[in-house]
Amino acid sequence: MSNHGMSVIVRTVTRFVYGLIILFGFYVIMHGHLTPGGGFQGGAVVASAFALLLVAFGSAGLKGRLNLHWLQSIEEVGALAFLALAFLGIGTAFFYNLLANSGGFLFGASVPAGANAGVLNAGGTVPLMNWAVGLKVMTGIAAVAITMLIGSKKEETE
Amino acid sequence: MIVQSILQIVILVLIVVGAALAVWFKDLLASVLALAAASLLVALEFYLLQAPDVAIAEAGIGAALTTAIYVIAIRRTARKEEE
C-alpha cells in the first residue's frame, strides 16, 4: 500500500475527478476579478488536485511527472511576474493600474456604468496579478506535498 | 430567516461534534477524516455567513490539503494511537 497508493476505487475516482478539479481551479483564477475567489483560492483548488493525485497514486505514480525543480522555478516566475506587474505603473505609483481602461485586448476594456453581469476582459493588471498569485500558490503547495512524500520515503527504506 | 438560524445552530453543533470525534478516535485515519468533515462544515458556515471567498479557501486548504498531508504522514508512521 505504501508505494503504490490506495485501493483501486480511490484510483479510479481520482482519474475521473482530478481534471475537473483543475479546470474549476483555473475557472476561479480566471474570474477572480468578477466572482468570489481569486489567485490564492484557485491556486489552492488546483494544488488540492495535485495532492489528491499524490495520495491516490503514491510516490510510484509520480515517476518524475511533477518535477520539484520545475515547480520551484514556476513559483519564482509567479512571484517575479507579480512584482513586475506592480512595477509596471511606477511612473505614477507602485501598484498603479496602467492597463485598466486602456482599450487594449489585454484586460483593457472599459466597464459600462450601473449594474451589469461583469466584463471578463476588464480589470487591467488585476487579472494578470491573479494569474501570477495562482501560479505561485499552486506550484508552491504542490512542492510542499511532494517534499512531504519524497522526504518521508527515505525513513521507510532504512 | 428562522430556517437559516436553525441551520446555523445545527452546523455549529456538528462542527463541535466533528472536533470532539477527531480527539476521541484512536484510529488516526478516522480522526483525520473527522477533522476534514469539521473543516468542510466550517466552509459551509462561512458560505452561510456571506463569505464565499473564505469558504473556497477553507474548503481548499482545510478540507483537502491538510487531509492529504495528514494521510501521507500517517501512511509513513503508525496508524493506531498508543495508549
* DSSP H or E run through A63: none
Q: Is residue A3 part of a domain?
A: no
Residue A153, pLDDT score: 61
Q: Residue A128 has which C-alpha cell? A: 494578470
Measured between CA atoms, the residue of chain B closest to residue A1 is B75
Average pLDDT on A17-31 reads 94
What whole-number percentage of chain A has pLDDT above 70?
89
Between CA A4 and CA A1 the distance in angstroms is: 6
Could you tell me the residue ranges of all domains in chain B? 2-76
**Chain A partners within 8 Å of B76 (Cβ):** 2, 152-153, 155-156
Assess B56–A contact: CB distance below 8 Å, yes or no: yes
Helix boundaries (H) for B1-83: 2-24, 28-48, 52-57, 66-76
Mean pLDDT computed over every residue of chain B: 91
Q: What is the pTM of this model?
A: 0.86
The candidate with the shortest Cα–Cα distance to A140, out of A84, A52, A70, A80, is: A70
Query: What is the distance in angstroms between the Cα of A91 and the nearest Cα belonging to chain B?
Result: 32
B56 and A37 within 8 Å at the Cβ level: the answer is yes
pLDDT score recorded for residue B83: 65
- Among B51, B43, B62, B11, residue whose Cα is nearest residue A36: B51
| Parent domain of A35 | 8-112+120-157
Q: Which band of pLDDT confidence, cut at 50, 70 and 90, is reported for residue A78?
A: very high
Checking if the pLDDT of A4 tops 70, the result is: no
Give per-residue pLDDT as tens, A39-53.
Answer: 999 999 999 999 988
Written as one letter, the residue type at A78 is G
Distance, in Å, from the CA atom of A85 to the CA atom of A88, rounded to the nearest integer, reads 5
What number is the average pLDDT over the span A4-28? 89
In a domain, A133, yes or no: yes
Rounded-to-integer distance, Cα B11 and Cα B77, Å: 33
**Which residue, A20, A18, A37, A16, is CA-closest to A28?**
A37
pLDDT at B9 over 60: yes
Residue with cell 473543516: B39
Report the helix count and the strand count for chain A, using DSSP H and E: 5, 0
State the Cα–Cα distance between residues A108 and A88, nearest whole angstrom: 15
| A96: three-class secondary structure by DSSP | coil
What is the residue-averaged pLDDT of chain A?
85
The pLDDT, as a whole number, for residue A21 is 94
Q: Count CB pairs under 8 A between chains A and B.
A: 59
Q: Into how many domains does chain A fold?
A: 1
